[in-house]
Structure 1
Amino acid sequence: MKKTVVSTLGLMLMTSSLYAGVCSDKLKYDFTFYGAEDKSYVVTKNTFKTATSNFPSEKLLNATLNIDAMSIDTHADMSNLKAQWPAAMATVRDNNIKNSFFKLFEKDAGKVDVKIVKVEASSMDVEFTMNGVSKVIPFSYKTEGDTIKATGKLDILAFGVDKAWKQLSAIAKSFHHGKSWSEIDVNFQVPASCK
């Protein structure tokens, strides 16, 4: 009897560990930013190397993502209108964003926190906190096969980072063909079972 109980408990623990963290493990996210007066300079698939996610009960509602913004990674897209940046430019771009933007936050420099606060049939509200300011951003989403794909638009200037944005925009002006856009597209995807 004792062996059966121990075996059953062991099996339960092993099974729960196999399924624990599915949403966190399968979470993919990125953002797109724009340059040039006509938004023709587009840099996609930007992300962060260091972030911690938590999905209570393996569901979207109340899921969080705590981002170390100093781990910015823009290496995935090296296009520059009809040309290609050399690979070393991604490091320059990352350092410019870190040192001339995220480090200059007046509160919680280099930190971005995200929380899903509402989930409906095809939309959700996502709260972003940067520079000590929290804003709820509407996201739309759809289920494609076994994956939920969500997207929203975030305006950096809504977080009281005008001075930091001004400095980054000045440094990036020539790289961004004259203009940097403060509105970015944020995308993420998780398994449909996380809904």
Structure 2
Amino acid sequence: MKKTVFSLVTLGILSSNLFAGSCEDNLKYDFTFFGAPDKSYVVTKNTFTNSKSNFPNGKLLNATLEIDALSLDTSADMNNGKAMWPASMAKVRNMNTVNNFFKGFEKDIGKINVKIIKVAADSMDVEFKMNGETKVIPFSYKTEGDTIKASGKLDVLAFNTNKAWTRFAAVCSAFHKGKSWNEIDVFFEVPASCK
């Protein structure tokens, strides 16, 4: 009897640990950036290689993501209009953005903290903290098969980043044909079981 109870308790702990990790382990996120007056310069699937997520009780509500923005990775999309950038261009983009934007934060240099503070039937409120400023961004989402796919628009200038943004836009002016768009599209997906 004791052996059976111990086995059930052990199984319960193991399965809850597996469940708890499924949201963190299966979280995917990225953002799309635009340049050029007509937004024809598009870089998709940008992400960060160093981040830590936490899903309390394996659910979206109160889930957090701590991002080291200095670990930017833009290598997933090397399109350059009708041509392709050489692979080395990703390193140039990463360095330009990190050195001229994220390192230009006046507070919490290179840190982005995200928290889901409300989940409704097809929308959620996502709190972003950057450069000492906190803003709540509305996201919409839909469930496709066994995956929740969410998206929202984030204005980087809403976080008191004007100085850093001006420097970044000046450095990237030639690449972006004179216009860098401060509003970016943000995406993430998790298993539907995380709702």
Q: Aligned residue for 2:184?
A: 184
Gaps (5+ residues) in structure 1?
none
- TM-score (norm. length: structure 1): 0.97
AA in 2 matched with 1:47: T
The answer (yes or no) to whether the contact 2:147–2:192 under 8 Å persists in 1 is: yes
Q: Aligned residue for 1:81?
A: 81
Q: Aligned residue for 1:91?
A: 91
> What is the CA RMSD across the aligned residues, in angstroms?
1.0
Aligned pairs for 1:27-106 (under 5 A) are 27-106=27-106
- Say which SS state the counterpart of residue 109 (structure 2) adopts: coil
AA in 2 matched with 1:176: H
- Say which SS state the counterpart of residue 89 (structure 1) adopts: helix
The answer (yes or no) to whether the contact 2:19–2:58 under 8 Å persists in 1 is: no
- Say which SS state the counterpart of residue 186 (structure 2) adopts: strand
Q: Aligned residue for 1:15?
A: 15
**CA–CA distance in structure 1, aligned partners of residues 76 and 17 of structure 2:** 32
**CA–CA distance in structure 2, aligned partners of residues 41 and 188 of structure 1:** 22
**CA–CA distance in structure 1, aligned partners of residues 153 and 193 of structure 2:** 25
Q: Aligned residue for 2:161?
A: 161
The answer (yes or no) to whether the contact 2:117–2:124 under 8 Å persists in 1 is: yes
The answer (yes or no) to whether the contact 2:20–2:57 under 8 Å persists in 1 is: no
**CA–CA distance in structure 2, aligned partners of residues 4 and 144 of structure 1:** 40
- TM-score (norm. length: structure 2): 0.97
AA in 1 matched with 2:70: M
Q: Aligned residue for 2:136?
A: 136
Shift of 1:10: 2.3
**CA–CA distance in structure 1, aligned partners of residues 6 and 115 of structure 2:** 38
- Say which SS state the counterpart of residue 21 (structure 1) adopts: helix
- Say which SS state the counterpart of residue 20 (structure 1) adopts: helix
**CA–CA distance in structure 1, aligned partners of residues 182 and 26 of structure 2:** 29
Deviation per residue, 1:128-148 (Å, 9 max, x gap): 000000000011111111111
**CA–CA distance in structure 1, aligned partners of residues 54 and 143 of structure 2:** 21
Deviation per residue, 1:26-66 (Å, 9 max, x gap): 11000000000000111000000001001111111111000
**CA–CA distance in structure 1, aligned partners of residues 4 and 120 of structure 2:** 44
Aligned pairs for 1:120-135 (under 5 A) are 120-135=120-135
The answer (yes or no) to whether the contact 2:100–2:168 under 8 Å persists in 1 is: yes
**CA–CA distance in structure 2, aligned partners of residues 89 and 191 of structure 1:** 33
**CA–CA distance in structure 1, aligned partners of residues 4 and 188 of structure 2:** 43
**CA–CA distance in structure 1, aligned partners of residues 157 and 117 of structure 2:** 21
Gaps (5+ residues) in structure 2?
none
Identity %: 68
- Say which SS state the counterpart of residue 75 (structure 1) adopts: coil
